[in-house]
Amino acid sequence: MLVVPGIELQKGRCVTLQRGRLDEPSIWHVDPVEKAREFSSAGASLLHVTDFDAVAGETPQNDLIESIIRSSETRVQVGGGIRTKERAAELIEMGAARVVMGTVAALQPQMVQELANTYPDQIILAVDIWQGGLMTEGWRTKAALAPEAMIEAYAATPLAAVVITDIDSDIENQDAQLGVISGLAGSAKCPVYARGTVHSIDDIARLKYIPGIEGALVCRALFDKSLDLIEAIEIAKPEPTTVADFQ
């Protein structure tokens, strides 16, 4: 299983949010570019960057995002407020390995499907779930579409992955609630990454055995030191297969 460290940006700072409240961020006094380098040095093969300024409809943090992409020695996927073909293309041209689309994927599926066909294996579908429903607009609006229907609508689309966020687990900081994510993972036709379910090394150990889950996105637990990235990557590795000795 792949462990993907996340860096969430607001006003040029590393932050994490509670309940998706953009006006009440937890601010981490570290340099985002240096943090990206640290995650790369720890062995991460993919980084996830979220631009909360773009989510809020403000000017995207392009200079900072580009610095992270260019200074990191690993691939970087970017999400947050990506609502147009032009914005997705801009980030890919900037060097983003993948872009993450959620709200627009629920509202304009044809546009996102066309984009995925233009950039195969570079578009990620974000499915954010709260109390069993699909949430959009940065977790602020409940969509009419069910999470299962959202994933089914993209079954034939060449997506890079689906990121499923269990908002209930993330905002309450409870033990990982894997039922919803594991159920949805079985219906996806591409790799599924779980988000919002990892708070400790035990959660990594549990997730790796859930069928269909190929990765875990982790942010807050890495910043508050509840989880060590090197240890998490090691735990997430597949167990060696026992080979019978026929001699």
Which residues are part of the catalytic machinery?
A: 8, 128
DSSP string, 122-165: -EEEEEEEETTEEEETTTTEE-SS-HHHHHHHTTTS--SEEEEE
User: Per-residue pLDDT tens for 210-220?
Assistant: 888 999 999 99
- pLDDT the model gives residue 246: 54
Count CB-CB contacts under 10 A for residue 11: 12
* Residue boundaries of the structural domains of the chain: 2-236
Q: Does domain 2-236 have CATH number 3.20.20.70?
A: yes
The continuous run of DSSP H or E covering 71 comes out as helix 62-71
Q: CA 165, CA 117: separation in Å to the nearest integer?
A: 24
Q: Is 42 helix (H, G, I), strand (E, B) or coil?
A: coil
List 206's β-bridge partners, or say none. none
Residues 6 or more apart in contact with residue 129 via CB below 8 angstroms: 135, 147, 164, 165, 166, 167, 168, 180, 184
pLDDT surpasses 70 at 176: no
Q: Indicate the DSSP class of residue 178.
A: -
The top-scoring range by mean pLDDT among 11-25, 58-72, 170-184, 192-206 is 58-72
Mean pLDDT on 95-116 = 95
pLDDT surpasses 90 at 12: yes
Mean pLDDT on 41-49 = 97
